[in-house]
Every structure is written in C-alpha cells, then in structure tokens.
Structure 1
C-alpha cells in the first residue's frame, strides 16, 4: 500500500518539476506525534534534487534580531521543488509561548502577521499544505518512554519533552487558539489523528495526492482518497481532539 502511494508521489514530483511549481508542506504537532517518521515516508523514493526537508535549528543571535519570518522565507521552495517543513514558523504559535521562548508581544505580533504572510505565499503561487498531527496524552507518554529505552531513538529526547506532559493543557490552549486564528480558506489546517503511526502516514500521503493536481492523477495505481475518520480539515467540532 505504501509503495503504491509512493509511486503516485513520484508522479506528483515529476509534474512539479516539469511545470516549475512550488510546493511547501508543513508538519506540526506535539512532541513525539510522528512528524519526522511521516516525512521520511514521503521522501523515501523522491528525487533528492527537488525534494528538500527543512528542519531549522534554534535561531542564531543574528536571526533573533531579524523579522521573524525571514529565515523561513529563505527556506521556501524554489521552482520545481517540494519542501517538507519538520516544524515551521508555527513554533511561535504554540511551543514558544508555552515554553516562554518568546514574550506575549512577540506572540501577538506573530498571530496578526501569519495569515497575511501565508496569503502572500498563496498569491505568489506557492502551494501550501499545513498538517497537524494529533495524539493523545497517554500515547505521547508511551512514545516518550519508548525513546528512553531505545538507544537508537535517545537522540530524539530533548528538555522540551520533559515539560510536554506537565504543560499539556497549556499546550492545548495555544494549539486551539492557533487553529481558530490561522485557519483560512487559502491556507487551511489539516488535522491527522496520529495515535496509529501507520494510518497517519498513509492518509497524509493520500491527502497530498488528493489535494494537488498532477499528470496521471486520473489513473492512480491505488486509492488516493483520504479516510475522513483519520484526516480532516479543521472546524469547530475538532477542537480538543487530542485530549
């Protein structure tokens, strides 16, 4: 099933290359939600020359003095390219205020500016998809435990992980505010129920294939319609989905 979906992704990438399109896909969610693993399934068989993962480190001293969106703007896709953002400018909507990495004035300014920023991307022809990977508190705790005992995954452990469970409700408050204020017709939030890593990965790929146009889409080798019980656009009844 995954292999057939990846064949369709190769078709999509070829179309993006030939037509000089620019595609940006954002992967957001709580810690241990499975964002990185999902991205790896997307890019596994894509041409690395025109498929790029963006996972920016902490901002430097110079970057902290710049317009907040500046370093993300520099990472946006070039013609013929698909970029996968493993976290994005939305750090300032949730993680940063929760962990006190920004002040309330910086947060408020970001929340005012981000719809305008994304509208500029839309008007400039960038095709933007925003995923939020939703897991339960119990599932997150289970994944944290697995990281600690698996020597191949211990590199994923960060100080932020230690706070994630304790600050769960605060995180939820900022997450829901982010949805309500940054979900737009031109840049909607797509929520993925991610307690099952396998289903989340498959349905995310299906969503991208169903959302974006490409040559050969009318003759897919597999069903590309996402399961609505796993993946859906944000709307008011989806709030607190991962409580």
Structure 2
C-alpha cells in the first residue's frame, strides 16, 4: 500500500469514527431536548453526571466487548435471555438501546410485547413469551417480561390475586426449566427514587419529543408508587432464585446506570475472542461491454440537506 493510499484509508477511518460519535451524540440529544426551566431544576436536583468524554470512551469500550460476547455466543451456540424490569422511566429502554446499538440484529433482538389480546388472555400465562425465546447462537433482550403479572397487572387490577399467587408458584419452576434447557437467564431491575421518577415524568410532559412515552398507565404509576413498591418487594422475595437471581441497577444517573449494567452483564459470561478468518476484499470485476443506464430523475430522493 503506497503512502497516499494509506493516508486515504486513515482519513476514511477517522471520518467513520466521527460518524460513530455523531450517532452517539444524536442518541444523547434525547436527554438534552428539554425546556430550560425543567433542565435547570433537574440539574439542581440531580447533580453532575459522568463527564461526556469519559462516558463515550467507556461506552465505546463496552460496546466493543459486547461485539466479542455476541461473536462468542454465535460461535458456541449459547442461548441468552436478558430481562429488563423496573419502574416507568427507570432507564430500561436506554440501556437496551446502547447494548443493541452496534450488534447484529439477526443475533441480538429486543422483545417488547404489547398488552395481551383477548385470545392470549385465555392461554397459559407464559405461552406468549415462549415463541420469543432464543435458539442457539441468539440473545434476546426482554423490555419487560412475564414479570408484568406481579407488577403492572397486579397493581392495576388486570390480574386477580389468585392469578398472581399462581404466577409466584409457577415462575421459579418455569425459569428453572429454561435454565435446564440451556438458556442463560439474566434479570435486571432498574431502580430509581420517587423524586427522580417525578422529574423524568415532568421532562416528558414538557418535551414534545418525549410526550409519546407517557401513557395513562404511566401516570397511574405515580399515584400507586407505594403499591408498586410492595409488588416489587414481594417479587424479589419469591423469585430471586439461585438459578436466576435478580440484579438491581441504581438508575438515578442514567449514564452510570448504562455503563454499570453493560459492564456487569459482560462479567457474567466466560466469553473470549473468537478467531476469525482474515477478510480480504476481492477485486471488482469489470466488464468492458457493460454500460450503466441512467435512472429517471424522479426515482431519486430530493437533496434538501
């Protein structure tokens, strides 16, 4: 490779890294598009977070390790389920987004099921979750899970006490069955304080880009804070089994919560770098008789930017 070509490749890689950082900044903007008044109140109540350069440096390092984990899972045929639970606005979606951001969606997929249909309500409770479990070489991230039964369904009255009790009796054995089948099951609970949730809800109310995140159910969760606390405590007491323990992630500081969760997740697996065959870019085949036809102008997206 001559000097000019080498310099061109270096410039291109630097531009790609800049684009990568731009993508991260775009995601971070969702936390910054707030009214100035709410932002000021939030900063006073919350205090300083990890400096942005330090955060991005750690985030990119952890995401690089997650790629190694993904390759190891694929190479060894592991089956991984990661459950993310917690109160509304606790940061589950944010950490899921950062975990999956640079991974192969054919290997790592997110499951966020809607409310059960009338038909699903007549099925075995766990039935609608089973089709989403991983095959060998796959990782599934559950953005809420079967623990809806002991959480929102119980608190909001969508499940009877008998149904909740049956759930508590069934779920330990259900999870043991998953583990016995070869699934690695990890359960995270994102924990925030009453005051932090109130601030995040206010941010959503005053930010037009986040109002879609608020539902009537979310607003009810503020009213029933103590009921959710009691439900969480009983869930931990009755479902924290050795085969699938709970891990609590303090979530008041979003950036630290994401980094800590990702770092902890990596620590749970004996993954190692998988050997790859060297990739060589083949030469392009040129056909001297081929002439590229011009496409009609109306097929192109207008260049407004």
TM superposition score category, shorter chain reference: 0.7 to 0.9
1:173 paired with 2:230, answer yes
* Equivalent residue number for residue 184 of structure 2: 127
Question: Which of 111, 129, 132 pairs up with 1:75?
Answer: 132
1:27 paired with 2:87, answer no
CA distance in 1, matches of 2:228, 2:169: 19
* Equivalent residue number for residue 52 of structure 2: none
* Equivalent residue number for residue 47 of structure 1: 104
SS at match of 2:190: strand
Question: Which of 151, 163, 166 pairs up with 2:220?
Answer: 163
* Equivalent residue number for residue 122 of structure 2: 65
TM-score by length of 2: 0.70
CA distance in 2, matches of 1:30, 1:84: 17
1:144 paired with 2:190, answer no
* Equivalent residue number for residue 186 of structure 1: 243
Larger Rg: 2
CA distance in 2, matches of 1:98, 1:20: 39
* Equivalent residue number for residue 56 of structure 1: 113
Gaps of 5+ in 1: 218-243
* Equivalent residue number for residue 301 of structure 2: none
SS at match of 2:125: coil
For 1:202-243, what per-residue CA distance to the aligned partner results, in whole angstroms no more than 9, with x for missing partners? 0000011001121139xxxxxxxxxxxxxxxxxxxxxxxxxx
For 1:117-159, what per-residue CA distance to the aligned partner results, in whole angstroms no more than 9, with x for missing partners? 0000010010010000000000000000101111111111111
TM-score by length of 1: 0.88
CA distance in 1, matches of 2:114, 2:135: 21
Gaps of 5+ in 2: 1-57, 275-305
Q: Where has structure 1 moved over 3 Å in runs of 4 or more?
A: none
- Mean Cα deviation higher: 148-157 or 2-11: 148-157
1:6 paired with 2:63, answer yes
* Equivalent residue number for residue 201 of structure 1: 258
For 1:80-118, what per-residue CA distance to the aligned partner results, in whole angstroms no more than 9, with x for missing partners? 101100000000011111010111111110010000000
* Equivalent residue number for residue 159 of structure 2: 102
Richer in helix (by share): 2
